[in-house]
Amino acid sequence: MCGIIGYVGPRPSQDILLAGLSRLEYRGYDSAGIAVIDGDGGLGMRKRAGKLAVLRDDLASTPLADGTTGIGHTRWATHGGPTDANAHPHLADDDKLAVIHNGIIENFAELKSELVGEGVTFRSETDTEVAAAMIGREYARTGDLVSAFRAVVSRLEGAYTLLAMHEDHPGLVVGARRNSPLVIGLGEGENFLGSDVAAFVEHTRKALAIGQDEIVAITPGGVEVTDFSGAPVEVEAFEVTWDASAAEKGGWSSFMAKEVSEEPEAVANTIRGRIHEGRVEIPELDGMDEFLADIDRILVIACGTAAYAGMVGKYALETWTRVPVDVELAHEFRYRDPVLSPRTLVVSISQSGETMDTLMAVKYARSRGAKTLSICNTQGATIPRESDAIVYTHAGPEVAVASTKAFVAQITALYLLALHVGRVRGAIDPVVAVEAVTELEAVPGKIARVLETEQARIEQLAHWMADTRSVLFLGRNVGYPIALEGALKLKELAYIHAEGFAAGELKHGPIALIEPGQPVFVVVPSPRGSGEMHKKVVSNIEEIRARGARVIAIAEEGDVAVLPAADEVLRIPLAAPMFEPLLAVVPLHIFAMGLAEAKGLDVDQPRNLAKSVTVE
């Protein structure tokens, strides 16, 4: 989950590296470092614990001699705490070789004792320094950096992206990847490597995706990619569909504030091009009709917020396709003996497309004969590349660690998938399908209305509640995963205890938590239609109010039944029940952000977290 950048070209590299790292800082932000080969052919390196700003200030006060070949790293600590010594780059071969790394080298302890036995000494507690020492040892034998990589990678177990440069070879950066991301940016007379395209999108939108177990060497004039045995491989080119400004704060107080404001477009852009004359047709699924008509089970795998999107999606998938659906946390799925068959469709959901737990679950499902479909927000990422089919969400780059606009885009993609599969299987009444499409198309405007009418009030509420020590969230049916999402966001951003429950479960235990003054958010289903669920949830509200809870209801406009029961009512526009989650989640995102801000916390980079969790 660290961020990595490499540059070779005619320009001074330090500013390019620091700008790239600032775009990658979402991947890890407990220390950062760069190394450059300067004009005289010497290798300079600087690394500092703390956020990138600490390194930036350090370099501003005592600059490194600049050079046109460089690598940079922003870290999320795994082996060894966030100290200067453990920050990357790590040096070897008499400090002439610099190495950076993302991932975990699982057999580093045995490799380290082998090196210690040879008299190698270490300056850090990291697994990375072991890889650096091994590459240094090989390089000293051959003087060839690429072949040194080839010799070393075959001995490393686990997940890694490694980049290295050596002062004997200005104008060359070598990288390797296994189970961890690395992409190439192609410039004019300059080339880049990055953990993702954000590292270099400011300079070029032409990119190449590097496959699993491949080694790349970039020079200003070229790129060479081989597999671990040295055989040349074909690489897949793609054009980045967004520009650098999409990953800028653009006047917002935080990336999260900007990204919540982009929730309407995230939904609209995910729908775009997938509805034709009122029918959902996902072009990426062309040619899969026969398989989709024959599936007998759908299994959704994901982690965190993406898994909650999956839980919402289950309601739509089962309703519209009549195929049984299970949703499972990717890390739990992989370590049991699941029943899978060639008629199982495994749908993975991941904003980053790099979450290791999800990636491993996808590979496992494939190895057990299931077909895999990836719902992903990041072009060229590993999970879609390892899947049989891809449905991209088009939320644009999500930089804040907490997922917001990607969540609504994921639900949208799942609804589109459900309508597509339902049509292919003849499981959905065409009239119902047209109504669903009309509802879906209206969602962006309705989210915009929630932002317009409720945001200021919710922020005020969050401000008043800044000292709250615990908040509960209740929901029922499609509102249940939304309650879970509301609680997760509050935990991760405001560091306070928060739990989400299915409202019907309250009386089976959690109601004991209610004491006078306990704030409880309740996602209230619509009273329209039979109104049966609405009545039940209003009764749940009465039960907790009777025990002193302070109730904040999220209810549709015109629902007057909640008024006497709730202390506060946050309004969402009318929508068919299936579409309420896309609206009800918006106040909860705003609330968690508002409460964290009221406590003076960094909403973009909450403690202990990283956006892309590339370790298991």
Closer to ligand F6R by Cβ: residue 402 or 524: 402
Whether 419 contacts 432, CB under 8 Å:
no
Asked about 376 being catalytic, the answer comes back as no
**Could you tell me the smallest distance in angstroms from the CB atom of residue 395 to ligand F6R?**
11
Whether 115 contacts 181, CB under 8 Å:
no
510 DSSP 8-state letter: G
Closer to ligand F6R by Cβ: residue 252 or 291: 252
Closer to ligand F6R by Cβ: residue 146 or 309: 309
**Could you tell me the smallest distance in angstroms from the CB atom of residue 611 to ligand F6R?**
7
What angle, 0 to 180 degrees and rounded to 10, lies between the N-to-C axes of helices 405-424 and 430-464?
Answer: 170
**Could you tell me the smallest distance in angstroms from the CB atom of residue 265 to ligand F6R?**
19
Neighbours of 187 (CB within 10 A): 17
Closer to ligand F6R by Cβ: residue 126 or 351: 351
Of the candidates 314, 446, 489, 611, the residue annotated as catalytic is 611
**Could you tell me the smallest distance in angstroms from the CB atom of residue 305 to ligand F6R?**
3
Closer to ligand F6R by Cβ: residue 173 or 330: 330
Closer to ligand F6R by Cβ: residue 69 or 352: 352
Closer to ligand F6R by Cβ: residue 26 or 501: 26
Look at residue 276 and give its three-state secondary structure.
Answer: strand
**Could you tell me the smallest distance in angstroms from the CB atom of residue 185 to ligand F6R?**
21
Note if the bond before 89 is cis, omega within 30 degrees: yes
CA distance 187 to 99: 23
**Could you tell me the smallest distance in angstroms from the CB atom of residue 38 to ligand F6R?**
37
Which DSSP string do the residues of 157-176 spell out, in sequence order? -EEEEEEEEETTSTT-EEEE
Structure tokens at 445: 């405007």
**Could you tell me the smallest distance in angstroms from the CB atom of residue 347 to ligand F6R?**
13
CA distance 230 to 2: 27
Look at residue 545 and give its three-state secondary structure.
Answer: helix
Whether 18 contacts 59, CB under 8 Å:
yes
Whether 394 contacts 408, CB under 8 Å:
no
Strands 519-523 and 470-475: parallel
CA distance 325 to 312: 11
Binding site for ligand F6R (CB under 6 A): 303-306, 350-352, 355, 358, 402-403, 488, 492, 612-613
Structure tokens at 265: 């477009």
Structure tokens at 95: 């400090």
Order of all β-strands in the sheet with 69-75 = 43-49, 31-37, 69-75, 3-8, 191-194, 183-186, 206-209, 236-239
| HEC letters along 224-250 | EEEECCCCECCCEEEECCCCHHHHCCC
Closer to ligand F6R by Cβ: residue 191 or 358: 358
Asked about 611 being catalytic, the answer comes back as yes
Residue nearest to ligand F6R (CB): 304
Q: Between the CA atoms of 241, 356, 270 and 297, what dihedral angle is there, to the nearest 10 degrees?
A: 140
Which DSSP string do the residues of 437-469 spell out, in sequence order? HHHHHHHHHHHHHHHHHHHHHHHHHHHHTTT--
Of the candidates 2, 112, 303, 405, the residue annotated as catalytic is 2
**Could you tell me the smallest distance in angstroms from the CB atom of residue 613 to ligand F6R?**
5
The residues assigned a catalytic role are 2, 611
